[in-house]
Structure 1
Amino acid sequence: MTRPADLAVVGGGVLGVSLALRARSLYPSWSITVVDQQPLGRGATGHSLAVVAPSGHTPYVRALATRSAELYRSPPWRDAVRPRRALLVAPQGSEALLGEQLTTAVAPATPAGLEHLGTAYESLFIAPTESVYAVENGFLQVDPVILSALLTPSRVEVVDDFTVVHCRRSGLHWDLTSDCARVLRAERVALCTGPWGDPESIADGVPWGGPPGSTKRVAALHVPRPGAADDDPLLVFPQDNLLLSPGERRVAVSFLRTGTRSAPLPVRSAAEWSSFGADVPFGADDLVEGRAALAVRCPEMAGQAVSGQAFWDTYLPGSEPRVERAPGSLPPLVRISGAAGSGVRLAPALADEALARLFSR
């Protein structure tokens, strides 16, 4: 039988890829395999705006955000990220509150920054009781395609048509069995499955410590803007859960979408992925909610929005991500569960924590 992999990562989104990259950095002699039921980065990660905000609503999340920012600026991640300036609209006198929530400096916007807003967003509404604050250093944007491509020079094996349906202990190893009866044996396993559930045998047989999460609809509008450019600052409305991300000739608008599922998405075979897109199109309801959210701040832009992107992501009670090790000593198995869109923002730090848990008892 082929020698077991030192580490098998189940899930090829930003969490799984980051875990594999971090493991390669810390343990260069390991054999590492990443498996997914679809091409890497095609799930929640690929439907995200992939903006890394230097923020956190609890001390634990802020610590993760700080650590992730450090790692994103280091090899190999730095090849897949770029810095973004940002303007935040918040109530006057919010410097102290923003300072508590952000992990980087914030200051009142300069006249040049305010002038840019006036020309880029003609109908922008800012209340007389609000101010605009600038964050020059701290926001980042990740390119999921480039990030996934970093696995090749890192000598990480990728199997992107491997739907794990069973994960069972076999002596001092784990046997991962696919829907096509292929078996991957590994000494250590990390589950990074995002909005999809655990493999059947894990879901039924491992008493994880935390309560189960749910999956929540995430969506973004695409608004044509001929004058928009990649280096324009992000525009963030923290109290409205609204983020405008300019790109070349368009602006992507992330908004708070209603709708949850009480259970994870069903695991699918590789063959089913050709039709899976029909399950999560950007539909009429997404467009209506997105336009309504954007109209509060930019009514003219809201009327121009005709398309977008949507998917599902994991949300946990308390909105804090969770890294757990399966009860028992050997062989080690860990699970990373994101929360409130924390996958891209906190992935490198969560990968660090998961690797530490693999060696804890």
Structure 2
Amino acid sequence: MSERTTRTGEAPHYDLAVVGAGAVGAIAAYYAVRRDPGRRVAVITHAGRGTGATRLSAGFDTPTGHNPAQRALAARSTALFDELAAGLGDAGRAPVDVRWLVTRENTAALDATMADGGRTRPVTGEQRALLDRTFPGLAHDDEQVLLATAPMTAGQPQWLTDRLLDEVLGRPDNTLLEGFRVTEVRRTGGRVELVAADGGRITASKAVLAPGPWVLDGPVAAAARERGARVKKVVAFHIMTPPPPGAPALVLEDADAFLLPHHPGGHWIFSITSPDWDRGPDEPLAIDARDRQLARALLARHVPGFLPHLLGGRVFSDCFTPGHLPVVDTVGGDDVVMAIGGSGSGYRLSPAMAEDALNLLDGRPRT
């Protein structure tokens, strides 16, 4: 008989259940076993590991925030990513130079978003020459300026998620439950019971729920809606021309868009802000004519030489919360915590979100 059960037919029991096998869930599970190697952890996903927003994330980490709380989370995540790299030997992150195109009058506001206290500075002649070689036809209005900051990072969210889950699952008492779509969380006999759509169930002493874009179709849907959570389509086009070595990223700050060199794929990632709200991950999602029109308009204005290379891309959903500030909070008791609201920045904020969730469960101070 398994040591997790005490009677025939009783549901398997774990010390911690983590619902969601994306970046937040994987990091939470990893931190849990690092804190307590004897803690038995079940990672639960309705599909496969890292199949949602994590798999399609561009992995661009600009440590910025539009309010003090978000900046604190971004700064903490940067420190935690460094700790992950030290512990794992590699966190799948590489530095990338970043250039910003912003309206002159918004420069101070951009500086204020920097979580590390850094400041923008005008690009040098050499930097401008590289930009002109990298972004064919680069142009901007008279009221806009090109600025430089310290290098930021481009990560590999799927790679990191797989690496962390391998660490967790390398311990014999831990498990990954795939195809287990949690529809209900209830408390029974002093335990948290997680019930799947097909009637399967497990119990745990505590649970972290990090459902990503599936947040409004699951056991924390009501609590998430109370906190203003919505889902939104996220679109990133591919610019099918190889980025040159040392190519910088270009952030179109006023348009909430960016061009990121993706050297492994041999192309650029062009992230834009889709206008489509309330589009869940189980709906048919596709890049449509409106998305393409928006992308083409931005390129025509700023990098017209990329227009012939705008071909295909990636589309998914994400959970957005008011102020783009993640919600990490207990749900119905102090033994269940939800970590939601990546707002398109789930990867870069995932370490702090995961740490906050575990701190709540373990009675530790939060970020």
- Is TM > 0.5 for Structure 1 vs Structure 2? yes
Is the alpha carbon distance of 1:316 and 1:32 closer, same or farther for their aligned partners in structure 2, counting shifts above 3 Å? same
Give me the whole-angstrom Cα distance separating, in 1, the residues matched to 2:177 and 2:344. Answer: 25
Asked whether 1:260 is paired with 2:280, we answer no
Letter in 2 for 1:152: D
Asked whether 1:161 is paired with 2:179, we answer yes
Is the alpha carbon distance of 1:188 and 1:230 closer, same or farther for their aligned partners in structure 2, counting shifts above 3 Å? farther
User: Conserved in 2, the CA contact under 8 Å of 1:230 and 1:246?
Assistant: no
Give me the whole-angstrom Cα distance separating, in 2, the residues matched to 1:286 and 1:201. Answer: 32
Asked whether 1:291 is paired with 2:296, we answer yes
Asked whether 1:19 is paired with 2:21, we answer no
- Cα deviation per residue 1:115-168 (whole Å; 9 max; x = unaligned)? 111111111112233322222333342332233232213335322222112222
User: Conserved in 2, the CA contact under 8 Å of 1:85 and 1:136?
Assistant: yes
Asked whether 1:145 is paired with 2:145, we answer no
**Identity, % of aligned pairs?**
26
Is the alpha carbon distance of 1:68 and 1:230 closer, same or farther for their aligned partners in structure 2, counting shifts above 3 Å? farther
Is the alpha carbon distance of 1:231 and 1:186 closer, same or farther for their aligned partners in structure 2, counting shifts above 3 Å? farther
Give me the whole-angstrom Cα distance separating, in 2, the residues matched to 1:201 and 1:148. Answer: 25
1:237 counterpart residue number: 252
Q: Which consecutive aligned stretches of 4+ in structure 1 deviate over 6 angstroms post-superposition?
A: none
Asked whether 1:100 is paired with 2:112, we answer yes
Residue 282 of structure 1 aligns to a residue whose secondary structure is coil
Give me the whole-angstrom Cα distance separating, in 1, the residues matched to 2:273 and 2:20. Answer: 25
User: Conserved in 1, the CA contact under 8 Å of 2:240 and 2:310?
Assistant: yes
Give me the whole-angstrom Cα distance separating, in 1, the residues matched to 2:103 and 2:287. Answer: 32
User: Conserved in 1, the CA contact under 8 Å of 2:19 and 2:211?
Assistant: yes
1:7 Cα shift? 1.0
1:350 counterpart residue number: 353
Residue 212 of structure 1 aligns to a residue whose secondary structure is coil
2:10 counterpart residue number: none
Gaps (5+ residues) in structure 2?
5-12
- Cα deviation per residue 1:228-271 (whole Å; 9 max; x = unaligned)? 14642111111111100112331110001101118x556xxxxx
1:296 Cα shift? 2.4
CA RMSD for the aligned pairs?
Answer: 2.5
Following superposition of structure 1 onto structure 2, how do residues 1-361 of structure 1 map, counting pairs within 5 Å? 2-3=3-4, 4-75=13-84, 76=87, 78-92=90-104, 96-104=108-116, 105=118, 106-154=120-168, 155=170, 156-197=174-215, 200=218, 202-203=220-221, 210-226=226-242, 228-229=243-244, 231-248=246-263, 249-261=266-278, 265=281, 279-329=284-334, 332-360=335-363
Residue 298 of structure 2 aligns to a residue whose secondary structure is helix
- After TM superposition, the score normalised by the length of structure 1 is 0.87
User: Conserved in 1, the CA contact under 8 Å of 2:220 and 2:331?
Assistant: no
Letter in 1 for 2:262: G
Is the alpha carbon distance of 1:110 and 1:21 closer, same or farther for their aligned partners in structure 2, counting shifts above 3 Å? farther
Gaps (5+ residues) in structure 1?
267-275
User: Conserved in 2, the CA contact under 8 Å of 1:54 and 1:139?
Assistant: no
Give me the whole-angstrom Cα distance separating, in 2, the residues matched to 1:203 and 1:247. Answer: 35
Q: Figure out how many residues of one structure are paired with residues of the other and give that number.
A: 344
User: Conserved in 1, the CA contact under 8 Å of 2:30 and 2:167?
Assistant: no
Residue 306 of structure 1 aligns to a residue whose secondary structure is strand
Is the alpha carbon distance of 1:157 and 1:350 closer, same or farther for their aligned partners in structure 2, counting shifts above 3 Å? same
Give me the whole-angstrom Cα distance separating, in 2, the residues matched to 1:135 and 1:150. Answer: 30
Stretch of structure 1 that moved more, 279-288 or 349-358: 279-288
